[in-house]
Amino acid sequence: MKRRIGILISGRGSNMEALVRAAADPAYPAEVALVLSNNPDAAGLATAAAAGIPVAAIDHRTFKGDRAAHEAAMNAALVAAGVEVVCLAGYMRVLTSVLVEAWAGRLLNIHPSLLPAFPGLHTHARALEAGVAEHGCTVHLVTLGVDEGPILAQARVPVLPDDTEDSLAARVLVEEHRLYPATLAAFLGGDLHRDLPRDLPDAGRVP
């Protein structure tokens, strides 16, 4: 049976699209129950809706800085959609304990660097600046420390002599679109982090 996943986005949503494409295969172990954004203008919302996926936006600006209240509303939407596992895909807000604790062990993120190198923003520019020979992306479980959770999988790309931030980002993005669906499938299959709770009906409980 397919697990119901929720995908959180803030913008373009190309990783979300890669997950939606993978989930269209009947043999893939997940279905996308909800694409949820903090940004009502996120381009990915229209893409997901066009693919027939339920979408929702909960604008963080209407919560006037109350991040916990915003996340409680996001959490309620995920629970109402019957979500069992949450995938952050270009969700540009640092999470509080509300979502991190409610979804502990079943909250994944994709980050555009080979963690623990280059957590945070502007990873491609920082990789070029540092002169590294290899760069890439990481899928990891989310904990309270930003980009610090247990690593599930990584993909590597070479850094080429005349790379720009854009050319390097594009090379990494191709790998992101392969890595995220493959890693989610392995995670759901129990091949990674065998401590995924089996009592999934409790998922999303507000702590």
Decide: is 15 part of the binding site for ligand GRF (CB under 6 A). yes
Using CB atoms within 10 A of its CB, is residue 43 exposed (0-12), middle (13-18) or buried (19+)?
middle
Decide: is 12 part of the binding site for ligand GRF (CB under 6 A). yes
Q: What is the contact mask toward ligand GRF in residues 147 to 176, using x (rule: CB under 6 A)?
A: -----------------------------x
Cα pseudo-dihedral 106, 112, 116, 117, rounded to 10 = -170
Q: How far is the CB of 110 from ligand GRF (least distance, A)?
A: 4
70 is catalytic: no
Catalytic residue among 60, 70, 111, 124: 111
Binding positions for ligand GRF, 64-123, rule CB under 6 A: 89-90, 110-112
Give CA separation, 76 vs 12, 36, 66, 88, 104, in Å: 24, 11, 16, 16, 16
Q: How far is the CB of 5 from ligand GRF (least distance, A)?
A: 15
Decide: is 11 part of the binding site for ligand GRF (CB under 6 A). yes
Please choose, out of 5-13, 23-31, 61-69, 146-154, the segment that lies near ligand GRF by the rule CB under 6 A: 5-13
Rank residues 90 and 181 by Cβ distance to ligand GRF and give the closer one.
90
Query: What residue number has its CB nearest to ligand GRF?
Result: 90
Using CB atoms within 10 A of its CB, is residue 116 exposed (0-12), middle (13-18) or buried (19+)?
exposed
Q: Which residue numbers are catalytic?
A: 111
What is the contact surface with ligand GRF in residues (CB under 6 A)? 9, 11-15, 89-90, 110-112, 137, 176
